Structure 1
Amino acid sequence: MNEIKCKICGSIKIIKNTTITDFSHGNIEKNLSIYIQKTDNAFFNKSVKGEIQAQICGDCGNMDLKVRNPKELWEAYLKSKN
């Protein structure tokens, strides 16, 4: 099994794949996400969503962020540049 180590302190006490949640108006929970717009068409605009995940060190508190679908986001980004 591959152990993940903290990039700062080297600890193996890593809390994996947690979500970052915002409690918005009315205390409604919403996980933080990245959105990349695929087109600039005003009527049929499409975007790709990538939910943000965090890994947190249980010793020093360092937090690393990543998204679940980086390849899909990259493809959407490339399409948005055309």
Structure 2
Amino acid sequence: MNCNKCGSDKIIPDLRITDHAHGNVEKNLSIYIQKTDHIFFNKLEQGELIAQICCGCGGVELTINNTDGLWEAYKKSKE
């Protein structure tokens, strides 16, 4: 695996981006898409952000997991 910016192979993959919230509780940063249109008890589809760092140039690339679930939730939200 090589960096898209500089071509270096000094890559650290699959890193979670974590927020230390109130009480120092760790929570991975995520994107949510609403799956239902209920006023109460909405269901959400979640995808966590994943980082890849190049130690050659300092570039950071973000990806997200659960792309299929997010896509389906997005399509449903547009109906």
TM-score in same-fold range (> 0.5): yes
TM-score, structure 1 as length reference = 0.89
TM-score scaled by length of structure 2: 0.92
**How many pairs align?**
79
- Aligned match of 2:52: 55
**Stretches of structure 1 lacking an aligned partner (at least 5 in a row):** none
The counterpart of 1:11, out of the listed 8, 12, 21, is: 8
Moved over 3 A (4+): none
Aligned-pair identity in percent equals 59
Unaligned runs of 5+ in 2: none
Q: 1:8-43, CA deviations, whole angstroms, 9 ceiling, x for partnerless residues?
A: 111011101000000111111111011010122112
SS at match of 1:75: helix
CA RMSD of aligned residues (A): 1.0
